[in-house]
Amino acid sequence: MRRLNLQYFAGEKTEKATPKKRQEGRKKGQVVKSIDLSTALSMLAFFLLFMVISANMGQSLLQFMSDIYVNWLNTPLNEHNIQTFNLHIFKAFGVLIAPILILALIMGIGSQLMQVGFVFSTESLQFKMERLDPIQGFKRIYSLRAIVELIKSILKLLVIGCITFSVLWINRTSVLQTMVKPISESLPIIGKVVLQMGIASSLGLIALGFLDYLYQKFDYEKNMRMSKQDIKDEYKKSEGDPLIKSKVKERQRQMAMRRMMQELPKADVVITNPTHFAVALMYDNSQMEAPKVVAKGADYLALKIREIAKQNDIVIVEKKPLARAMYKELEIGDSVPETFFKAVAEILAYVYQLKGKV
């Protein structure tokens, strides 16, 4: 049997994106959003507002047309009057369509904010040479995304086509009657049918938009996936290479050990367990308020401290509970706290007596 080399699968993107990867993608504008959903919501807002203000719009339009026939039809044709007339038309139509356009814009922006929040990125606007690569362009044309976009376009045409046919079929009698009715009676019927088509089509496109949003979320998660190696590399960048960090810590520990061993000969006494713990104390009453820990260690290091203490004629005192307690509570460089004053004072008095200092 052939042995399977698992390294071949190390680069497969099977892991979910980390928060850091998602944040970096967001800065580049890579977020879950459906443009189709935003467009459909804006379209629905357009037709709903049009339905509400259509009566006023019709009246305003008739008044505008009447104004043209009454006040402008016999106006002398010159440059000044033409400019004034054009300005009048722009203002009139601006007043008519401004509310609809503003609401559609608000709905479009609102739907984007609901989907992704506020995202500002210029990444998509930057020029990239790979966009001119014909091979990459060919891949984009025949990619899965391109096929999905084609299916979406076909579905949108089918939805709008079916809805348009259904609305016309339901209103077929009224629509056919407009052929024999005067314009004043036909326009409201046509407007009603158009509104029904618009609202129904918007609702259908919103349904497709939700499906598109689900697909965009799936596609986003797929594109953001990471391999196990990617996650390791990200961790190394953010936290540092564990191997390097362990080497640095080991070197720092060795340096601290050397400094401790250099300070150990200055100690006055070494208090031991005797085999498990050793704590070396130094006291200079002219410079210190309390004795200071210059070295401490457990097991092998405790044995090493005792050896150096013997080499430097430092007194070694066996006090098991005191050695254990001081080892756990004190660090190198700490002064002895009041809780240990009495016991340490007795030991130092004994040491000074041995050395003839008292």
pLDDT digit string (tens) for 68-113? 766 666 677 777 777 887 787 788 777 777 777 787 778 777 777 7
Q: What percent of the chain has pLDDT over 90?
A: 9
Contacts of 151 (CB under 8 A, 6+ apart): none
Q: Which residues pair with 295 in a beta bridge?
A: 280
SS3 category, 189: helix
The pLDDT of 221-242, averaged and rounded, is 75
Instruction: Give the position of tokens 């200055």.
Output: 266
Question: Among 42-56, 65-79, 158-172, whose mean pLDDT is lowest?
Answer: 65-79
Query: What is the pLDDT confidence band of residue 120, given thresholds at 50, 70 and 90?
Result: low
pLDDT value of position 119: 58
Tokens representing 26?
A: 């967001």
Ranges in the chain annotated CATH 3.40.1690.10: 264-355
264-355 classified as CATH 3.40.1690.10:
yes
Torsion over CA: 142, 145, 146, 147 (sign): positive
The pLDDT of 232-261, averaged and rounded, is 75
Q: Is pLDDT of 135 > 70?
A: no
